[in-house]
Amino acid sequence: MKVTAIYGSPRKDGNTDRLLKRFVEGVRDEGVEVVEFFLRDMNIAPCREIYGCKRNGRCVIDDDFHVIADEMSKSDAIVVATPVFFYAVSAHTKAFIDRCQSLWVKKYWINKVPFGKGETGKPGVLISVGATRGKKLFDGILLTMRYFFDCLDAKLWAALLYRGLDGKDDILNHPEYLDEAYAKGRELARVVREGKGAA
């Protein structure tokens, strides 16, 4: 049993980093392995839209994307943490997500899975943070993540969304958010262990 954790912020040890780290601790404390990826430290080019992936569903750009894609395919759950940047995911996260178009091509064009099928599957978790407090702050990201998880045969199982956090250490003023992330990590591990991800 394994969980893939993807850190999407350019800022080291910022709010989403700290939340995901607590989440990961929760997963590990339940005895489930976690493989972590820090997108800011990886070489992942944006999608070039050349559709080299049409041949066999593998992206033809040779970079670190494949390290994560291979790991995700062996994982029982995927967790992504991203700050809100202009009501969207960070550029690091978006570049990574766009490269997953190759997996979308594999699923829907090569394997011909009917649209709307295959969404059940492994649990996907979103952790996100924004500075402001608007009602629609996470709408764009939630939509993106639903379709991102779909192409991985995952579904949005939980979203931990926190408003009003801007400075790098702001999250430290909210130990209750970090506690919630830790508890959710433990819960995810139990779900993965019991194979209830598709519930």
Do the Cβ atoms of 32 and 194 come closer than 8 Å? no
CA distance 89 to 83: 6
Chain residues in the site for ligand FMN (CB under 6 A): 9, 11, 14-17, 83-87, 129-132, 137, 165-166, 168
Q: Shortest CA distance to 131 belongs to which of 84, 174, 89, 175? A: 84
Minimum Å distance from CB 159 to ligand FMN?
15
* Shortest reach from residue 130's CB to ligand FMN, in Å: 3
Which of residues 86 and 115 has its CB atom nearest to ligand FMN in the complex?
A: 86
Q: Is the CB of 11 or the CB of 193 nearer to ligand FMN?
A: 11
Shortest distance in whole angstroms from residue 30 CB to ligand FMN: 25
User: Of 24 and 84, which has the nearer Cβ to ligand FMN?
Assistant: 84
The DSSP 8-state label assigned to residue 80 in this structure reads E
> Do residues 77 and 192 touch, judged by C-beta distance below 8 A?
yes
Minimum CB distance to ligand FMN, residue 152 (Å):
22
